[in-house]
Amino acid sequence: MSTTTTHAAPSAAATISTGRLLYWSVQRELWEHRSLYVAPLAVAALILVGFTIGLVDLPAKLRTAAAAGGMEQRALVEQPYTFAALLLMGTTFVIGVFYCLDALYGERRDRSVLFWKSLPVSDVTTVLAKACVPLFILPLLTFAVTIVTQVCMLLVASGRLIGTGLGVWSQLSFGEMTWTLFHHLVLGHGLWYAPIWGWLLFCSAWARRTPVLWATLPLLAVGLVEKIAFGTAYFGNWLGSRLMGGPADPAPAPDNDHGVSMTMVGITGSTPGQLLISPGLWIGLALTAIFLALAVRLRHSRGPA
């Protein structure tokens, strides 16, 4: 009887598809790291509270803006919605950084890696599931939370303006704002930041202690050595273009024959097609693949921290 059971277990495990294993591995990340969605929701709640309090003098502001007319009126109306989106995106970026640094290091630190390795889930599937969080889950989650927050802000503002003859809907290009937000989050925070997430996951798999130091000190060392040895800052400018969320076009620096100045082209300043054919995007994705492959190898070979 026991022999039959022993042979049946691996057979049952083998029938689970790779896609299903990846799906449940991503679910596991969401279950174990509730800050991934709790923190954006908490920030969204604070934004709504602050926005509601600030509605006291909204009619007076709108009348003043209407007198100025044109772009000033539109900028005044859109300002709190843009601020809400930026605050949520910044929150999500910070969450993504801390998540990646702890994703593979944390399971070695608390020795739970020994349990997870006993399950029929490969190291490749585990690392890909962890990479999916900053690449896809967080951008899409932030997009949804931001849109719901902005809609709630619109409804509250409309309620405040009832009986005043004023309105905010006509002053907002909500469709354009939504598309810009989706473009920035999915292509920017997801694909353009991909080598950052890959590097942080690699450092999380590599470090035996304090992964944040392993993630930052080598980058600072490379930039410092380049500056001292060659008097250039190509690496620092490339890294800056990644952190600023847009591709950079190198141009000769006017005051430094050996330097280089970078003309920043933000994610929102380019179309999805332009970004998708950008060499910088594909170079970054190639680096991401290398970092993730190294993280898989390290997870396979390294034991608890």
Over pLDDT 70: what percentage of the chain? 80
pTM, two decimals, is 0.83
For 166-201, the pLDDT digits (tens) are 667 666 777 888 888 888 888 888 899 999 999 999
pLDDT at residue 18, as a whole number: 85
Task: Name the 3-class secondary structure at 251.
Answer: strand
Mean pLDDT throughout 254-261?
38
What is the Cα–Cα distance from 46 to 38, expressed in whole angstroms? 12
What is the Cα–Cα distance from 138 to 302, expressed in whole angstroms? 28
HEC secondary structure over 53-100: HHHHHHHHHHHHHHHHCHHHHHHHHHHHHHHHHHHHHHHHHHHHHHHH
Reported as a pLDDT band with limits 50, 70 and 90, residue 30 is: very high
Q: What are phi and psi of 261, to 5 degrees?
A: -105, 150
Range name among 1-15, 44-58, 219-233 with the lowest pLDDT average: 1-15
For 102-126, the pLDDT digits (tens) are 999 999 888 888 888 888 889 999 9
In b/e form, how buried is each residue of 69-96, taking b as 16+ CB within 10 angstroms? eeeebeebbbebbeebbebbbebbbebb
Mean pLDDT throughout 71-100?
88
Residue 279 or residue 293, greater confidence: 293
What is the Cα–Cα distance from 113 to 102, expressed in whole angstroms? 13
Token pair for 30: 């969401």
Sorted by sequence, the CB contacts under 8 Å of residue 276 that are 6+ apart come out as 187
Question: Judging by beta carbons within 10 Å of its beta carbon (0-12, 13-18, 19+), is residue 132 exposed, middle or buried?
Answer: middle
pLDDT at residue 142, as a whole number: 95
In the predicted model, is pLDDT for residue 1 greater than 60? no
Cα angle, residue 172 at apex, residues 167 and 177 outer, rounded to 5°: 155
Q: How far is CA 30 from the centre of its chain?
A: 15
How many angstroms separate the Cα of 245 from the Cα of each of 30, 38, 84, 115, 197?
25, 24, 18, 38, 13
Mean pLDDT throughout 222-226?
94
CB atoms within 10 A of CB 298: 20
